[in-house]
A and B are shown apart, each in its own frame.
Chain A
């Protein structure tokens, strides 16, 4: 709560910056929406998914991205500079879990607009392809958005950890953005080899594409357990990887 209060105050100091962030988020969402519109002026379905269903995948992607952006992204993106400047000492010496401190240092409330945008995308998806919102589906949808955010956190955190060995890698976030681009499309758009890579090696497809398959009954419901398992395994892996990387950290004095 304390962190949230401080972050809110910080976000409100620079109101113009807050507003420009909102406009940028709307702009980038528009890129994907325009692209989907252009795609569907030429086709009616993409590997059996219509426009509304594609937007449904995108809504899950956006919700999970929004949760990740609000709670985790800023802290993770500051990890490289914390390692290179030796500021990590201030975190490691505190009597609180280091990973928790690194990733929750900021609550980026200026990204809250992403939640609203994701909701609008969901409404647009619903208008194009009505979904049945039973209590089970609503619960699963919320669960998948949360799990997607944690998968995103685990992968993004792991992607940034090579900075402990190779200091001059300030743009590791570009890898994160590149890989997660896969998860906006139905799984079957990609050849089997890529499906396997992005399901079980870099499981980005579990953030949106596979949850959408479960919710639209293209994949059995018990795959939900697999999504939960993948999230847990990734999360534990990222923590273990961080502990391993810490052995190669040497302070630059603080």
Chain B
């Protein structure tokens, strides 16, 4: 169902719905900004006492100040909620509407991002005032950066959708969501900048999709990648998007066949 003409109306409705809880969104954005900000201080101190580390202070500061923005733009979170809708029967209302459930999730995600940017941008601005940085913006990088950002979003969106599909078979997907978060924190470059991964950790991080959610767009932004590395990175992003999307579509069709609508 590609009912794109309903997209503006749904987006408007989701934006209105998202403004109902501004306090909660402010807290989420504070968390999104403050955790990397904490890590910035940790690594700034480490760098000042260990000059042999292959990471410049400028790159470190840019990494952790832009991290919250990139994470917010590429973030998705509908998995648990969709699985819960399946369990309680609330998904029925999505099935009878003239809009794809996936498009509905997308408009919800986009609407929240539009609201979140108003909370996050001032915090990031304060971060850049405390740590002034010349970001060395280049037009050629910006185009590839936005492509990588969009693809990173679709990695997360398709993964969350896939997790949501588990709701047709599992009563509870919180454990799956926790596992995803654990892997994201471990291999996504949140606590330790991705540049400093080595050995088995680097190998695993390069294979999993999480480093392509935030770290890869950032590496493009700072012109840290060679042309072959760019090609490989975009290919891996595309591969994960296709894999998660195909699995989601398969599980959706199988799930709908066995789904018995009740409640809702």
Contacts and interface: CB of A to CB of B under 8 A. Distances in A.
Interface in B24-56: 24, 27-28, 30-31, 34-35, 38, 41-42, 45-46, 49-50, 53
A191 B197 CA distance: 26
Interface in A24-58: 24, 27-28, 30-32, 34-35, 37-39, 41-43, 45-47
B192 A35 contact: yes
Contacts of B53: 42-43
B143 interface: no
Interface residues of B, number: 33
A41 B35 contact: no
B229 interface: no
B186 A171 contact: no
Task: Determine the interface band of chain A, counting residues with CB < 8 A from chain B.
Answer: 35 or more
A23 B199 CA distance: 25
Interface in A179-216: 181-182, 185, 188-191, 194
Given A30-B182, A31-B186, A38-B196, A171 B175 contact: no
Given A30-B182, A168-B24, A189-B41, A43 B50 contact: yes
Interface string A155-175: 000000000001011111011
Contacts, number: 90
Interface in B12-34: 20-21, 23-24, 27-28, 30-31, 34
A177 interface: yes
A177 B38 contact: no
Nearest to B192: A38
A191 B41 contact: yes
B201 interface: yes
A172 B34 CA distance: 15
B42 A189 contact: yes
Interface in A123-164: none
Contacts of B34: 178
A207 to B, nearest CB: 15
A134 B40 CA distance: 37
Contacts of B178: 24, 27-28
A250 interface: no
Contacts of B238: none
A17 interface: yes
Contacts of A28: 178, 182
B243 interface: no
B77 to A, nearest CB: 12
Nearest to A46: B46
B198 interface: yes
Given A178-B35, A181-B38, A182-B38, A42 B196 contact: yes
Given A46-B45, A185-B42, A172 B50 contact: no
A240 to B, nearest CB: 24
B198 A174 contact: no
A219 interface: no
Among the interface residues A42, A43, A182, A185, which one has the most CB atoms of the partner chain B within 10 A? A42
B59 to A, nearest CB: 14
A251 interface: no
A39 B193 CA distance: 10
A47 to B, nearest CB: 6
Interface of B: 20-21, 23-24, 27-28, 30-31, 34-35, 38, 41-42, 45-46, 49-50, 53, 172, 174-175, 178-179, 182, 185-186, 191-192, 196-199, 201
Nearest 4 CB-CB pairings of A with B: A27-B182, A35-B191, A38-B192, A20-B175
Given A17-B172, A174-B27, 17 more contacts: A20-B174, A27-B182, A28-B182, A32-B191, A34-B201, A38-B196, A38-B198, A39-B192, A43-B50, A46-B45, A46-B46, A168-B21, A168-B23, A169-B24, A171-B27, A175-B27, A189-B42
13 contacts: A20-B175, A23-B175, A27-B178, A27-B179, A31-B182, A31-B191, A38-B191, A41-B198, A43-B50, A46-B42, A46-B49, A169-B27, A190-B41
